[in-house]
Amino acid sequence: MSGAYASDTDLWMITISWLLVLVLGLAVTVYGVRAYRKSGNRSMLALATGFAFLSIGTAGSWFGIYDDTGSLFYAQFGCVGFLAAGFGMVLYSLHTKFG
């Protein structure tokens, strides 16, 4: 699946990096959901959702789009949407908590 943009080694390094983001993001999201359940504070749920978009959404988007299209450009472009949504949710959670 190496395209014109990267070698097989590059793609393996990218895949391992995104897997690390996926695993760590899942852990942060789980802790955020636990904090929401314990406190009942909706801003914690919004924060957990933001981290899910930032990590799970971006990594899943990269894997799904690249696997479907084979284009690193479209895969990264899809990730940008999840990053924007994630930062929007984090900003919303902070605004509702401290705003």
Over the stretch 50-66, which tens digit does the pLDDT of each residue have? 999 999 888 888 888 88
> By C-alpha distance, which of 73, 28, 74, 80 is closest to 58?
80
Name the residue with higher pLDDT: 95 or 1: 95
Name the residue with higher pLDDT: 6 or 98: 98
